[in-house]
Amino acid sequence: MERTRRTQARLLLVFVLAVPLLSGCWDRQEIEQRAVVLGVGIDVASEQTVNKNEGEVSHLRGSFPEPETGNIRVTMQIAVPGRIPLGPGVSGSGGGGGGAGGQNTVWVVDGFGQTINDALNNMQQSVALPLFYGHLRVIVISEAVAKKGIQNLNDFLRRNPEIRRMTWMVVSRGKAAEVMRLRRSSSVCRRFT
């Protein structure tokens, strides 16, 4: 009798100890559930466009003192899953739907805001999946933004643990958004490699 009770107590203990493991990787993020950002372009934006395009996502309108560096427009290239042929000769497994040739391998989105964080939060509102910066290849800054100083931007990007320090940072003569929209006729996605 004493024996069985002990065994039962032990079994119970094993079950209780197993409970914490059941939660598993509860905060995992599968690769197809991420929006992989490949490039970021940063431009100046006029106050009107920002007011028109910025929803009241990160702050109420007018509740925020205007930053000295002015408003920002962020353009972003997001990889479209399944449409990126990984190098020459390998056809993208586009699920049978047309392949990679005719379609865009990346999707370009805009976000407006007073600061870069603001703009990225606004942009997140127009993208269903959480943005993932782990594979970010290039950051294009327009000349107009660069002239105001990039210390602030650089600091923001450095504090994001996903962004690598080997990411290219370039300054464009024209608008950074135009660089983001550049498309090569070749279907191979190696613009930044």
Q: Which residues bind another protein (CB under 8 A)?
A: 27, 134-135, 158, 161, 164-166
According to DSSP, the β-strands at 35-45 and 131-132 are: parallel
Nearer to another protein, 1 or 17 (CB): 17
* Among candidate residues 188, 66, 57, the one with its CA nearest the CA of residue 115: 66
Nearer to another protein, 23 or 185 (CB): 23
Residue 45 beta carbon to another protein: minimum distance, rounded to whole angstroms: 28
Question: CB neighbours (10 Å) of residue 110?
Answer: 19
Nearer to another protein, 98 or 130 (CB): 130
| E strand intervals along the chain | 35-45, 71-79, 106-113, 131-132, 138-142, 168-172
Nearer to another protein, 64 or 168 (CB): 168
Sign of the CA dihedral 145, 146, 149, 151?
positive
Residue 84 beta carbon to another protein: minimum distance, rounded to whole angstroms: 13
Nearer to another protein, 47 or 162 (CB): 162
Report the alpha-carbon distance of residue 6 to residue 78 in Å, rounded.
59
Residue 158 beta carbon to another protein: minimum distance, rounded to whole angstroms: 6
Residue 12 beta carbon to another protein: minimum distance, rounded to whole angstroms: 20
Which 3 state secondary structure label does DSSP give 148? Answer: coil
Residue 163 beta carbon to another protein: minimum distance, rounded to whole angstroms: 9
